[in-house]
Chains A and B, each alone.
Chain A
């Protein structure tokens, strides 16, 4: 298992987990979220290949209603 931060909270994820794996595990459709990894926006085309490493900090963001 690997310890990472997701949206500010510590989380344990399996080794060699990609962003796509994580979204699937958390039941998040990939077309509604934006991913920032360690402060950098990650393009969708890299979500499958990019593996998460220990102490990575991930932000999973979505669009909501706002004024």
Chain B
């Protein structure tokens, strides 16, 4: 069955996007990417720390992936725009995950500043994927501003709490004519499958893989869960019902009628 994901006209072969933060060792990353079969991989930008030796993080990433730098650290649209432009200068391509956060307790994204950043960056030719709080009106503004996909959070970053925003994400899936990628909060493969069964186009997972005791095995599990969830969605499952319905025939057997 033909089922391809396209973002800004580019075919994406895996519906599992992965983040590269929080890994105990960059050496794990090639095996994680391979086991997960992920094609879209996020990275971040930071000031060089003169106190520690610098490593070229990019050398751990296979050449055929789509690199998606994020704008983490940005507290407003101007900072996100600045980080995105720097990211493009690295030669990582023109995809960018917009992440504007000024709330340090829950790390919830600022949808208003995010819309402003999308407007500018989309005009500059970036493929913009905004991380956002799932709100239909904000998502519509992001579509108008030129977003290539919408990435609502399932629960706060790094919490492993799953899809607490389920009803709101379901509305986005139903009403927004762009890929909806559930980003943040997915802690278990079953939750990734849940997002895919809901009709999400993809999920982005970082903490759950990076902080598992065996990240490579967890990456493989997430890859399988995303594929399973997608197939379940495409199979169009029947609605739930409250009363039982026998799966085996109940006609008279070993019983006098």
- Residues on A lying within 8 angstroms of B by beta carbon are 7-8, 26, 28-29, 31-34, 36, 39, 41, 43, 59-67
- CB–CB B48/A66 < 8 A: no
Contacts of A8 in B (CB 8 A): 47
Contacts of B148 in A (CB 8 A): none
A32, closest chain B residue (CB): B56
**B54 lies within 8 A of chain A by Cβ:** yes
Q: In the bound complex, what is the Cα–Cα distance between A26 and B49 (angstroms)?
A: 11
Given contacts A65-B23, A66-B19, A67-B22, 10 further A-B contacts (CB under 8 A): A32-B55, A32-B56, A36-B86, A41-B89, A62-B57, A63-B92, A64-B21, A65-B57, A66-B45, A67-B72
Partner of B89, one of A7, A28, A31, A34: A34
- Per-position binary interface string of chain B over residues 87-129, scored 1 when its CB falls under 8 Å from any chain A CB and 0 otherwise: 0011010000000000000000000000000000000000000
**B20 lies within 8 A of chain A by Cβ:** yes
A31, closest chain B residue (CB): B56
- CB–CB A61/B46 < 8 A: yes
Q: In the bound complex, what is the Cα–Cα distance between A33 and B42 (angstroms)?
A: 17
- CB–CB B48/A29 < 8 A: no
Given contacts A34-B86, A41-B89, contact A63 B58 (CB under 8 A): yes
A-B pairs with beta carbons under 8 Å apart, 27 shown: A7-B48, A8-B47, A26-B50, A28-B54, A29-B56, A32-B57, A34-B86, A34-B90, A36-B86, A41-B86, A59-B47, A61-B86, A62-B45, A62-B47, A63-B45, A63-B57, A64-B21, A64-B57, A65-B23, A65-B29, A66-B43, A66-B45, A67-B22, A67-B42, A67-B70, A67-B157, A67-B207
**B26 lies within 8 A of chain A by Cβ:** yes
**B232 lies within 8 A of chain A by Cβ:** no
Contacts of A34 in B (CB 8 A): 45, 86, 89-90
**B44 lies within 8 A of chain A by Cβ:** yes
- CB–CB B54/A32 < 8 A: yes
- CB–CB B47/A7 < 8 A: yes
**B206 lies within 8 A of chain A by Cβ:** yes
- CB–CB A67/B46 < 8 A: no
Contacts of B85 in A (CB 8 A): 41
